[in-house]
Amino acid sequence: KALQKSGLSIDQIGAFEVNEAFAPVPMAWLKDIGADEKNLNPTGGAIALGHPLGGSGARILTTLLYHMRDNNIQYGLQTMCEGGG
């Protein structure tokens, strides 16, 4: 929905930060969305970098913004975990 509303395609997104509490989450997301695997969590995901309670959104956004700046990427997309429990 977000891509449709923005007028962008999945191919225009240069980096994806998909928060995961469990390793299969980003793999399932890739399968559903059809994004390029090389652009998924390019600097490591939450398992590698941390999944701070109440701070995941800030950590993911900061990681995404620095990666985009360092690699001259115009568009990025961030998702949060599905929130089970």
Distance between first and last Cα of the chain: 25
Give pTM, 2 decimals: 0.84
pLDDT of residue 83: 61
- The superfamily CATH assigns to domain 2-79 is Thiolase/Chalcone synthase (3.40.47.10)
Q: Which residues contact 59 (CB under 8 A, 6 or more apart)?
A: 46, 49, 50, 51, 52
Domain ranges of the chain: 2-79
Per-10-residue mean pLDDT of the chain, 85 residues long, equals 92 93 85 93 83 80 96 94 60
